[in-house]
Amino acid sequence: MQSYLSELFAKQNTSSNNFFLMAGPCVIESEEVIMATAEKVVAICDKLNIPLIFKSSYRKANRSRLDSFSGIGDEKALKILAKVRDAFGVPLVTDIHDASEAAMASEYVDVLQIPAFLCRQTDILVAAAKTGKIVNVKKGQFLAPESMIFAVDKITQSNNDKIMLTDRGTMFGYHDLIVDYRGIPTMQNLGVPVVMDCTHSLQQPNTTSGVTGGNPQMIETICRAAIAVGADGLFIETHPDPAHAKSDGANMLNLALLEPLMVKLTKLRQVVNTL
């Protein structure tokens, strides 16, 4: 595991032989939901020796419709997210949507995430790099895995080598995504940890209703395949009640299903490590 990740996870006293998990609700919709989810996710990861980065977006900038929920206010949401670190001692990740947001968000979190649609935007990559935080760049749905070398180069040339890449599927027609698992070793060959986004890769975007659909029944399939090919980490959005979540409920994992899934994946990782 890269030294910056080992340092990030040092307080969690977990094994570097396991995958790490980036998990939490899609967006901060209330303190109650965030804290309840964090308590459960932290307990699962402690039990199974899984390094955790807790995730939630302070705002969702990429919405299909103007009336879609986007957030409760940036600073208010970030302060709620910071309470997770204060209460549970885990690192945090959140998305930024513009170069001007990098400095603000970096005051609250440990990892800045660049959304897939923005992975080619030079100014946002450079701004994130200059904060000195770890930068997690999601591979664009429109890019080949090897093309992510240019995102990596922009960050390293901005004097930051703390980089992760996340695959979240590739567009397959107008309403679906597919995952090409060759992309995981391809991006690992760029010298950075690679994460599989097991929930957004199951989105069904561009629906006529203007609300993104999903196929959460396949989350375990995506997770198992990612572990089998050697992904360094998994990204899973989870919520206590996805049907009533204010964003991406159609493809989030029900929180009640997280522990049994992590049990299976931890066992699978142990097998993979012996091969």
Print pLDDT tens along the chain (275 aa): 899 999 999 988 777 789 999 999 999 999 999 999 999 999 999 999 999 999 999 987 665 566 565 668 999 999 999 999 999 999 999 999 999 999 999 999 999 999 999 999 999 999 999 999 999 999 999 999 999 999 999 999 999 999 999 999 999 888 889 999 999 999 999 999 999 999 999 977 655 454 555 678 999 999 999 999 999 999 999 999 998 888 767 789 999 999 999 999 999 999 999 98
With respect to residue 24, please indicate whether it lies within any of the assigned structural domains.
Answer: yes
With respect to residue 219, please indicate whether it lies within any of the assigned structural domains.
Answer: yes
With respect to residue 273, please indicate whether it lies within any of the assigned structural domains.
Answer: no
With respect to residue 36, please indicate whether it lies within any of the assigned structural domains.
Answer: yes
With respect to residue 275, please indicate whether it lies within any of the assigned structural domains.
Answer: no
With respect to residue 274, please indicate whether it lies within any of the assigned structural domains.
Answer: no
With respect to residue 27, please indicate whether it lies within any of the assigned structural domains.
Answer: yes
The domain spanning residue 132 has which CATH number?
Answer: 3.20.20.70
State residue 208's pLDDT score. Answer: 45
CA distances from 241 to 42, 139, 229, 274 (A): 18, 28, 31, 37
With respect to residue 160, please indicate whether it lies within any of the assigned structural domains.
Answer: yes
pTM: 0.93
Count of the separate structural domains present in the chain: 1
DSSP the chain: --HHHHHHHGGGT--TTS-EEEEE-SB---HHHHHHHHHHHHHHHHHHT--EEEE-BS-----SSTTS---S-HHHHHHHHHHHHHHH---EEEE--SGGGHHHHHTT-SEEEE-GGGTT-HHHHHHHHHTTSEEEEEPPTTS-GGGGHHHHHHHHTTT---EEEEE--EE-SSS-EE--TTHHHHHHTTTS-EEEETTGGGEE-S-TTSS-EE-GGGHHHHHHHHHHTT-SEEEEEEES-GGG-SSSGGGPEEGGGHHHHHHHHHHHHHHHHH-
Domain that holds residue 91: 3-268
State residue 67's pLDDT score. Answer: 55
